[in-house]
Structure 1
Amino acid sequence: MSVLQRLLRSPEGAIGLAILCLLAATAMSAGAFFPRDPLSIVGPALVPPFSDMAFPLGTDRLGRDVLAELVHGSRASLMVGIAAAAVALVVGALVGTLAGFAGGLIDEALMRIVDAFQVVPAFLLALAFVSVAGASLPVVVLAIALGAWTAPARLARAEVLSIRERDYVAAARVIGMRPLEIALREVLPNALAPVLALSSVIVASSVLIEAALSFLGLSDPNIVTWGSMIAEGRNVLRSAPFLSIVPGIALMLTVLGVYLFSEGLGQALAGRKART
């Protein structure tokens, strides 16, 4: 039985995969269904949900379509989550591999850098970085990755420590491969599997951190995000709570889908490993 079949047989994996597929399809089709700028004013202000079929989820304080903002906001959430996870995994895997394979002073120095980054909570680190560097999408991605790369680095180092003394690594040394070449071509690919398992957790936390930064106004004002939508609804929470509730539900479902998918994928991979 393939990993995909095992994933779909798991309730967590099937539900998580369905949520993520729906989110991805929504993000990719945002321009087709809502070609107009989601920040443009299209109707009267504060139209309640389901009261006007032209605006199924209502409008905000400025008369902008909440559904259009929600759909376009999914793009930003996915983009930030996947990009931050990719940067964190690449940097963490490289640092962990170099530290574990080199050992000695290099290992000690790199691990002390990892410790220094781990001391500061990820959100506070992102908050400080964005406050200094300015609010833009690339800066937000880099800020989130700064607090997320340490876990992949530690896991990659642990894997490399168990791999570097194996026979194929010794054979690579015998045939004259350079240490850096051995680390990147022979050791790193075999240490990646457990590191990649962290990707779903990093994506979920990245989405939450981006939403928190947007809520505080530390995001690109020209891009719709779910966090900025929640912040926009904060000022009229008593009279129009749907402005914060709708993006809040979308955010909750996204994180839930990522975690369920991670659980199902873990079970599928564990079942495959047990059979082999």
Structure 2
Amino acid sequence: MPSKTRLNFPLGLGLLIVAFSLVLAFAGPSYAPHNPLEEIHVMEVDGKWISAPFPPFTYPEYPLGTDGVGRDVLSQVLWALRPTLILTGYVALLRLFIGTVIGLLAGWNKNWFGDLLNNLISA
């Protein structure tokens, strides 16, 4: 009798988050509402002049607000996601390479050096 296989919920949620992050990283900058480096020091709202920083969820032009010099936080996040994901990918590959080299050295060396690496790995 065939068994039912279900997708592991944490795995599915993690895959969904990673897929959403990848789509947002490569398509997000084209949807950024403002230039992330553009500074808005003052803005007129209902006849009053207000200065930066603008709080989040207050003005529809800046959904996540602005920083201290008036740069749009949403645009900064959308533009920063791609280089951040690329950097984390490089770091993950570097860690994989270092772990593989240490594991191979620990497995092939049957002397004191291999014992030292095995003890460090299992600690």
Partner of 1:59: 66
Higher relative contact order (CA 8 A, sep 6+): 1
The alpha carbon displacement at 1:35 in A equals: 8.8
Where structure 1 has 5 or more consecutive residues not aligned to the other structure, the ranges are 116-153, 156-276
CA drift of 1:14 comes to 2.0
Cα 1:81–1:33 change in 2 (3 A) is: same
Question: Identity rate of aligned residues, in percent?
Answer: 28
Q: How does 1:246-265 map to 2 (within 5 A)?
A: none
SS at match of 1:28: helix
- Distance in 2, matches of 1:40 and 1:83, equals 30
Partner of 1:24: 22
- Whether the 8 Å CA contact 1:42–1:64 is kept in 2: the answer is yes
Residues paired across the two proteins, number: 110
Partner of residue 12, structure 2: 14
- The gaps in structure 2 that reach 5 residues or longer are 43-51
* Structure 1 residues 143-194: Cα deviation after superposition (integer angstroms, max 9, x where no partner): xxxxxxxxxxx37xxxxxxxxxxxxxxxxxxxxxxxxxxxxxxxxxxxxxxx
Change beyond 3 A, Cα 1:67–1:17: same
The whole-number CA distance in structure 2 between the counterparts of 1:54 and 1:87 is 41
Counterpart among 46, 68, 71 of residue 75 in structure 2: 68
Deviation at 1:84, TM superposition (A): 1.3
Q: TM-score normalized by structure 2?
A: 0.69
Paired with 2:39 and 2:104, the residues of 1 have a C-alpha distance of 51
Q: Which has the higher strand share?
A: 2
**What corresponds to 1:79 in structure 2?**
86
* Structure in which a larger fraction of residues adopt helix: 1
- Secondary structure of 2:60's match? coil
**Preserved CA contact (<8 Å) 1:55 1:67:** yes
**Cα RMSD between the aligned structures?**
3.0
**Higher Rg of the two aligned structures:** 2
